[in-house]
């Protein structure tokens, strides 16, 4: 069956418009992917700086993240550089706030990238029905990159959902030879899961209750360390020190 010239022209115009839309979508996805990767690099650098600050503040004899800067008599401590400690704590607070903002932005971008659905494209002047095209390669490569940045990605045929691990606490003190240290926890680890605790309200009492309820039993612990998600197994138990873990969690 031959198409009338006007009909053929309309069909060709439709194909051209579809191609232009597809090109714009691909360019937009590439730009968003590049922006997200840059944000992830920036966040990783911030996490490295945060961990460095935590290590300096929590060195043996150090003031910790929230320890007193005065002695028992109320005088400034002479064993620490108080202005430097205050500056480091202030910088850590700034980094935490910015880290949270960047993480939110990354989450939004990832949701946009993974909500892309195939569009119909005409392959010729004759209507051959809608054809699906796969997700852009940039999204697939971003998924691989997220594995080293605290992200877990699950995919389906045409939809991809991202689940982001958000830290709710940080190990700011840990005692050598304690159960926590022996089982793999490290100073500066950002906790995203401790047994059945994965966020919410009343976190410190819930963490303590979870450890107490699982005394002598392995507890699944998820942490982010240097930007990488790690799964550990920690067993709360009695030892020569205080508590069942020998570490302190600070909410973030």
The domain spans of the chain are: 26-116, 169-251
Confidence at residue 80, expressed as pLDDT on a 0 to 100 scale:
86
Compute the distance between CA of residue 14 and CA of residue 91 in angstroms, rounded to an integer.
56
- Identify the weakest region by mean pLDDT among 51-55, 160-164, 179-183: 160-164
Confidence at residue 54, expressed as pLDDT on a 0 to 100 scale:
81
Confidence at residue 163, expressed as pLDDT on a 0 to 100 scale:
36
Confidence at residue 4, expressed as pLDDT on a 0 to 100 scale:
52
User: Which fold, 169-251?
Assistant: Pdz3 Domain (2.30.42)
pTM across the whole model:
0.45
Confidence at residue 20, expressed as pLDDT on a 0 to 100 scale:
55
Q: How confident is the model at residue 99 (pLDDT cuts 50, 70, 90)?
A: confident
Task: Please give the average per-residue pLDDT across 86-98, as a whole number.
Answer: 88
Confidence at residue 50, expressed as pLDDT on a 0 to 100 scale:
84
Task: Please give the average per-residue pLDDT across 13-29, as a whole number.
Answer: 56
Task: Please give the average per-residue pLDDT across 160-184, as a whole number.
Answer: 78
Confidence at residue 183, expressed as pLDDT on a 0 to 100 scale:
93
Q: Say if residue 205's pLDDT is above 50.
A: yes
How do residues 147-169 score in pLDDT, each as one tens digit?
444 333 333 333 333 334 688 99
* The pair of three-digit structure tokens given for residue 153, joined into one six-digit string: 């990605």
**Highest mean pLDDT: which range of 5-9, 30-34, 213-217:** 213-217
Q: Say if residue 124's pLDDT is above 80.
A: no
Q: Say if residue 192's pLDDT is above 60.
A: yes
């Amino acid at each position: 069956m031959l198409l009338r010239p006007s009909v053929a022209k309309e069909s060709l115009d439709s194909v051209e418009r579809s191609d232009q839309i597809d090109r714009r979508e691909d360019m937009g996805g590439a730009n968003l992917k590049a922006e997200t990767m840059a944000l992830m690099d920036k966040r990783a650098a911030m996490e490295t700086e945060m961990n460095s600050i935590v290590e300096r503040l929590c060195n043996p004899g150090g003031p910790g993240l929230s320890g007193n800067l005065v002695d028992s008599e109320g005088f400034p401590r002479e064993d620490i550089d108080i202005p430097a400690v205050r500056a480091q704590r202030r910088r850590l607070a700034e980094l935490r706030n910015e880290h949270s903002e960047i993480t939110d932005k990354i989450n939004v971008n990832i949701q946009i990238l993974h909500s892309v659905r195939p569009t119909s494209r005409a392959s010729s002047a004759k209507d051959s029905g809608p054809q699906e095209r796969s997700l852009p390669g940039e999204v697939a490569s971003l998924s691989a990159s997220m594995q080293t940045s605290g992200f877990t990605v699950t995919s389906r045929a045409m939809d991809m959902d991202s689940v982001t691990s958000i830290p709710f606490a940080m190990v700011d003190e840990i005692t050598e030879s304690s159960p926590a240290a022996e089982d793999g926890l490290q100073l500066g680890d950002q906790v995203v899961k401790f047994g059945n605790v994965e966020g919410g309200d009343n976190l410190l009492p819930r963490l303590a209750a979870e450890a107490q309820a699982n005394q002598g039993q392995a507890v699944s612990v998820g942490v982010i360390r240097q930007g990488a998600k790690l799964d550990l197994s920690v067993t709360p138990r009695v030892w020569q020190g205080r508590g069942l873990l020998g570490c302190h969690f600070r909410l973030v």
